[in-house]
Amino acid sequence: MQVYLFDWGDTISKDVIPAQKAGLNAIWFNPNRLKNEKRLKQIHALKELTKYEMV
């Protein structure tokens, strides 16, 4: 069985980067559509989380 762990947050330095360092797939919650300079996985609305497979 394959398990996918995700963390999502709206602050890159406090949510996304620490999750990546811990080995999680991180998704940036970016409702204001700020420029994604780091090319992170991102969503603009919480309902978009359904496009990522989660177990």
pLDDT in tens, 31-55: 999 999 999 989 999 899 888 765 4
Residue 28 has φ and ψ, to the nearest 5°, of: -85, 120
**pTM for this prediction:** 0.78
Both structure tokens of 30: 């970016």
- Nearest by Cα to 22 from 12, 7, 33, 35: 7
In a domain, 36, yes or no: yes
- Nearest by Cα to 28 from 9, 46, 13, 44: 9
Q: Using CA atoms, how far apart are residues 47 and 55, in angstroms rounded to an integer? A: 16
Range of the domain at 36: 6-51
The structural domain count of the chain equals 1
In a domain, 21, yes or no: yes
Residue 3 pLDDT more than 70? no
In a domain, 1, yes or no: no
